[in-house]
Amino acid sequence: MSQPDKTTEDVAIRAVLTDYFDGLYHGRMDQFASAFHPEARLFAVVEGKVSAIDYAPYMERCAGRAAPAASGADQVAEVLSLTLTSADTAHARVRDAFPPRTYVNDLCLVKAGGKWGIVSKVYHAEP
């Protein structure tokens, strides 16, 4: 099995992360949704219990909120780490904000059909 071209894959994954950050910040739901695989699930701990949400309800929730850019909030879009774990899997830890909270997200990405997409997001608000 050949090794993936890390530079090419890094650029492709970072483009997905840019769609994630910019789509979220500007409320561009098509751009934001394009960063995710349609089978994606999101997880958090809420009141001591694991809370999960599927892709479609998450997109509906995000579409119903005012974009941070609309309020003049500064954009938080930071890639804390990015690891290409195989030719078709990757992990990114990112920081973003949806005022009044800033979040740290662990994103797992897969490459299917030649396209990278987020398949899971585990997130928590920073204190």
What's the topology of domain 6-125? Nuclear Transport Factor 2; Chain: A, (3.10.450)
Strand ranges (E), the chain: 36-46, 49-54, 77-84, 89-98, 101-112, 115-125
pLDDT in tens, 67-80: 999 999 999 999 99
Q: Between the CA of residue 3 and those of 37, 82, 88, 107, 122, what are the distances in Å?
A: 23, 17, 11, 22, 28
pLDDT in tens, 25-68: 999 999 999 999 999 999 999 999 999 999 999 999 999 999 99
- 3 pLDDT more than 60: no
Q: Between the CA of residue 2 and those of 6, 85, 86, 88, what are the distances in Å?
A: 12, 14, 10, 12
pLDDT, position 127:
86
- 2 pLDDT more than 80: no
Cα-atom radius of gyration of the chain, to the nearest Å? 15
Give the global pTM.
Answer: 0.92
Mean pLDDT computed over 77-88: 96
Please report, for the chain, the start and end positions of each structural domain, with discontinuous segments joined by +.
Answer: 6-125
